[in-house]
Structure 1
Amino acid sequence: MKLVELLVGKHVSAGVGDRVSHVDPDIGEVTYAQLHDAVVGYAGALRERGIPAGARALVVADDSVATTAAILGLWWHGCVPVPVSPALSDPELRFMAADCEAAFAHFDVPNAARRELGADIDQLPHTTGDEVRTIFMSDTESQAYAPAAVAEEADWAAGQPALIQYTSGSTGSPKGVLHAATGIEAVAASVGSLLGLGPDDVVLSTAKVSFGYGFGNSVILPLAAGARTVVLRGGVDAHAVHSALHRHRPTVLFSVPRMYVALLALAASHGTEATASLRLAATAGEHCPAALAERVRETFGVPLVNGLGATEALHFVVATPPAAITAGATGLPVPGATATVRGEDGEPVPEGTEGRLHVAGPSVALGYLNRTEATRRTFADRGVYTGDIVRRDDAGELWYLCRADDLLNMGGYKVAPGEIEAVVREAEEVAECAVVAVSDENGLDQAVAYAVPVPGADPSVVRKAILALLRTRLAAFKRPARVEVIDVLPTTSTGKLARNRLRESAGREAVVDR
């Protein structure tokens, strides 16, 4: 399978290469023909630099058309892109580079951030986003990225890893998920048909390409459909999204529940003109409460597709179709996928009984990189267990209940409490700590960190020390919304931590420290 042909080349061959593929804040509009030339040129540069086909390439980059061109160029050359967030900490990035045995890197981060990555990453053979942008911004083709210098596009075999995306397991240790080209094709066909994406659509995603949900939203789905992608660079907050909605008039918005909460607040004060161009909205990354979904539908006047996905299955595996569905339901399997509710023994459970969500279909990944036991547990019974607890009603609709493990679901990112607790414990005067998740007024999860200081320590000083560590050691999406310093952690009669009592306490407060 030729991935660039699947996503870009077919449009050029069909004579519609002058259609706009991206609207990028740095270079403006880019056509499919321009994107194709840049991809071919990028692959040629890899060849000239002696990067072998099959090499894994760490892509540490914010969203841009240059990032997309680099990923597609790696595919053309037969390399495996490993997109990771530039917001991750230096130790996390070094771990991922070593774990995937990266032989190459693509950077699109500020120079100051590059200097902090460490010699073991920064000294890899690499390209930069600025280098790729020169192709789009110059009237003449860059000599270093000349299309004539490239060989024929790589043909990916079934069962051959073509993409690695990192996720976190119940221990918080990142795991590389191995995706085949057939999975990428399956998402384009199944989710694309579910959403009815076409060449007249303008797509805006608040989730980044380095996040599995965002990769599908901004790379696979719009390109396969011949649609136009609006790129959001830098920090994404409600005001930035509201401005982009006004300026670019997207027809499809991909976001997460808590962003919809913020957009609803702006709509209450500024009206709904910004969302007037939408024909469809989609949400995923974390559970969307029924009341919130209904508010989005009523306020913006468009169908809301509520999707449940997993990095292990690349994108949506269960979703509510744009047509009416029971309020609060998580939905039905996407076309081509099979979803069952299973017990601990791996056998399907009766309707109405809660159990583990198991998904089978062509988008399910090949397994985890270097994690034989984790692969055996998760990719079992001819499919994958997503880690969600659900139930199926008598109409066949699935209902999300909770996570199967103790992961916190923060804005769509799965974060282990132990990962946050390990950072909190680094504060010299912290004796004990615990992190719990509580629901805010919109029904979305927020993390709260509780710390017990050593005797005689000033609580205010301890709290400041913890906040400083969290801001320097954890990516923003992993930081708890609040830090509380208390005298003692509650325990059960057997001496175990009473997390339920912490959750009750946290739910009575509303101060955010981020």
Structure 2
Amino acid sequence: MALSNANFSEAAQQVTYRNGPRPMHDYLLLNASEAPDQAAYIFYGREVTWGELAESTRRLAGFLRASGIGKGDHVGLYLQNCPQYVIAHYAIQMLGAVITPLNPQYKAAEVEYQLNNAEARAVICGTDLYPMVDAVRTRLDNLALVVTTRYADYLPHEPTLPVPEDMAGAQATPEGTTDLVVAIEQSRPIDKPESVDFENDIALMTFTSGTTGRPKGAMLPVGAATFKTAALFQANGLDQATTSLAIAPFCHIAGMCLGVYAGVYGRWTTVILPRFDPETTVKAIETYKVDMWYSIAPMNRAILGLPDIQSRNLTSLRFNPATSFGIPVTESLSDEWKKLTGCQMHEASYGLSETHTMDTYMPRDAIRWGSCGKPMPGNDIRIINLKTGEEQPAGESGEIIVGNPYVFKGYWQRLDATDETLRNGWVYTGDVGYFDDDHYLFFTGRIKEMIKSSGYSVFPEDVEALMLNHPAIAQSAAVGVPDENRGESVKLFVVLKPDYEGRITEQEIIDWAKENMAAYKYPRYVEFRDSLPATGAGKVLRRLLKED
């Protein structure tokens, strides 16, 4: 049974906005008008003010427009966390173009797949990552423009925090690319952003495995970011007097929400770090009196384990939503963290790419341990019976479905997958859970076979397709296995081609995978098999492999 989208229209009206339902780049320009000299982002001590951020964004938008990028065009964003990411993100959206973020851990084959699948006309990437693009550039059918940038261009002369070695290098601009800083300096700023339809025009195409197959581009409307960010502020009582720390990858929907959107919506100052290091994180919190940090539980645990951590001052923290990956967010861990910082960490939220995440929030004055919290304002969540589709009462498990006016509009050029997941405005998540009597959501499992590794979604078919590039592999099947550090790791069952039997080891397969796919995705375990269990139609039965 497909529920009517009219059922959640009343709930959607509950969201209130700081300055109305407008695109996020309008909030950026508003900040520049109201507080041009306030620090918007801090990168190892380099302050980028709202005035500079807005001017650089408008100039980069001017360059992209002059280069032929316009409304509806797809542009890849392939960068580590840095100020240039934010500038590029909003420059693309000011043109009414569509961002498709790529994980900086991606290797060449993964870059080729996503840029070709998205039919990207341009890509903006770090000079450290350009070799992956260059390796496949001749096979990227639609790519007409490549912009590169050096992270060092936004570093101060005297950094306030330890800078990773790979961020400080002064690489030359690769041949056949345009330097981002030069493009900003030499271009005229656009007069005003492109007019967009808040509810229907697409602003973001984030690749996700969804419920089936290799990653697909989930098309999110302009209004999704503002809607969910406004709900975040409303539910948690957040204000503008905030300094946040952004470590979660901006390419990931959660990191994007907290690192790219929240600071702009709330006119926060955001301290950017491209990766987690316990000592650097502690120093950042101390130096900048950080009061908001979205973390994952292993980060908090690593900080608690630092020598002499009790002598450090982290008492500026007042809001620390955290996600359970590898280590759950438990009451005991939270109490230990509160004893150190004075801040009660708690489970962040339930969400997925197709809904622009942040579908729930945890009431800070009524934490329910083990739950995902309550539905965000304006966000309708139902539990339906897996067989009948009828809504389940409290305490009864079923499929979690999510509805609001700004869920994704479908998968790019995948009508079949869209019809399976999006029905009358409701996203059928493929996840199983239940509500308790107080309407706290509890997640209990997944219908789909997606693997959750280090906070990332890994779909078996994606790993298997990439592994077919290995000359020795005739067939493979990937499953998730428990991992106390990553939550899950990938295990690969492999059928070798006859010529390679006895001539190659499991470790050699793992080493090859490590070189050819992202760190969170490559298999940590390989087992050779003579054959794989399959249905009569030839579909591999991963469930049987997982049960072995």
TM-score w.r.t. the length of structure 2 is: 0.79
Q: Specify the alignment match of 1:24 in structure 2.
A: 43
The 1:447/1:360 distance shift into structure 2, 3 A limit, reads same
Q: Specify the alignment match of 2:292 in structure 1.
A: 252
Partner SS for 2:48: strand
Question: Structure 1 residue 298 and structure 2 residue 336: aligned?
Answer: yes
Equivalent residue runs for 1:401-480 within 5 Å: 401-423=444-466, 434-441=477-484, 444-451=487-494, 461-480=504-523
Which stretches in structure 1 are left out of the alignment for 5+ residues? 506-514
Deviates more, 1:198-207 or 1:332-341: 198-207
Please say if residues 24 and 261 of structure 2, whose CA atoms lie closer than 8 Å, have aligned partners that are also in contact: no
Please say if residues 44 and 146 of structure 1, whose CA atoms lie closer than 8 Å, have aligned partners that are also in contact: no
Question: What do residues 403-458 of structure 1 show as CA deviations (whole Å, max 9, x unaligned)?
Answer: 12111111221112343345556656667755433334479333334557789989
The 1:274/1:94 distance shift into structure 2, 3 A limit, reads farther
* Structure possessing the higher relative contact order (Cα contacts under 8 Å, 6 or more residues apart): 2
Q: Specify the alignment match of 1:13 in structure 2.
A: 33
Q: Choose which of 252, 259, 268 in structure 2 pairs with 1:211.
A: 252
CA shift, 1:393, in A, is 1.2
Q: Work out the CA distance in 2 between the residues paired with 1:176 and 1:194.
A: 29
Q: Work out the CA distance in 2 between the residues paired with 1:295 and 1:460.
A: 48
Q: Specify the alignment match of 1:185 in structure 2.
A: 226
Identity of matched residues, %: 23
Opposite residue 52 of structure 1, the aligned amino acid is G
Partner SS for 2:90: helix
Q: Specify the alignment match of 2:273 in structure 1.
A: 232
Which stretches in structure 2 are left out of the alignment for 5+ residues? 1-20, 158-180
CA RMSD of superposed structures (Å): 3.6
The 1:51/1:429 distance shift into structure 2, 3 A limit, reads closer
Q: Choose which of 204, 209, 229 in structure 2 pairs with 1:163.
A: 204
CA shift, 1:199, in A, is 2.6
Opposite residue 122 of structure 2, the aligned amino acid is F
CA shift, 1:161, in A, is 0.8
The 1:500/1:176 distance shift into structure 2, 3 A limit, reads closer
Q: Specify the alignment match of 2:138 in structure 1.
A: 119
Please say if residues 34 and 136 of structure 1, whose CA atoms lie closer than 8 Å, have aligned partners that are also in contact: no
Deviates more, 1:40-49 or 1:144-153: 144-153
Q: Specify the alignment match of 2:51 in structure 1.
A: 33
Equivalent residue runs for 1:276-355 within 5 Å: 276-284=315-323, 289=328, 291=330, 294-300=332-338, 301-303=342-344, 304-344=346-386, 345-355=388-398
Kindly tell me the number of residue pairs found equivalent between the two proteins: 495
Please say if residues 161 and 180 of structure 1, whose CA atoms lie closer than 8 Å, have aligned partners that are also in contact: yes
Partner SS for 2:195: coil
CA shift, 1:296, in A, is 3.1
Q: Work out the CA distance in 1 between the residues paired with 2:497 and 2:371.
A: 47
Q: Specify the alignment match of 2:421 in structure 1.
A: 378
CA shift, 1:185, in A, is 1.3
Question: Structure 1 residue 129 and structure 2 residue 174: aligned?
Answer: no
Please say if residues 215 and 459 of structure 2, whose CA atoms lie closer than 8 Å, have aligned partners that are also in contact: no
The 1:261/1:456 distance shift into structure 2, 3 A limit, reads farther
Question: What do residues 326-369 of structure 1 show as CA deviations (whole Å, max 9, x unaligned)?
Answer: 22111110111111101233321122111111111244122211
Please say if residues 2 and 153 of structure 1, whose CA atoms lie closer than 8 Å, have aligned partners that are also in contact: no
Q: Specify the alignment match of 1:510 in structure 2.
A: none
Q: Work out the CA distance in 2 between the residues paired with 1:485 and 1:5.
A: 49
TM-score w.r.t. the length of structure 1 is: 0.84
CA shift, 1:117, in A, is 4.0
The 1:429/1:459 distance shift into structure 2, 3 A limit, reads same
Q: Work out the CA distance in 2 between the residues paired with 1:43 and 1:160.
A: 18
Q: Work out the CA distance in 2 between the residues paired with 1:411 and 1:382.
A: 30
The 1:393/1:68 distance shift into structure 2, 3 A limit, reads same
The 1:258/1:478 distance shift into structure 2, 3 A limit, reads farther
Q: Work out the CA distance in 2 between the residues paired with 1:497 and 1:173.
A: 15
Opposite residue 257 of structure 1, the aligned amino acid is A
Q: Specify the alignment match of 2:83 in structure 1.
A: 65
Please say if residues 312 and 364 of structure 1, whose CA atoms lie closer than 8 Å, have aligned partners that are also in contact: yes
Opposite residue 222 of structure 1, the aligned amino acid is G
Please say if residues 258 and 444 of structure 1, whose CA atoms lie closer than 8 Å, have aligned partners that are also in contact: no
Opposite residue 358 of structure 2, the aligned amino acid is F
Q: Work out the CA distance in 1 between the residues paired with 2:533 and 2:189.
A: 67
Q: Specify the alignment match of 2:235 in structure 1.
A: 194
Question: What do residues 272-297 of structure 1 show as CA deviations (whole Å, max 9, x unaligned)?
Answer: 73643211111248597353x54034
Q: Specify the alignment match of 1:86 in structure 2.
A: 104
Opposite residue 42 of structure 1, the aligned amino acid is L
The 1:466/1:271 distance shift into structure 2, 3 A limit, reads farther
Question: Structure 1 residue 48 and structure 2 residue 91: aligned?
Answer: no
Opposite residue 298 of structure 1, the aligned amino acid is E
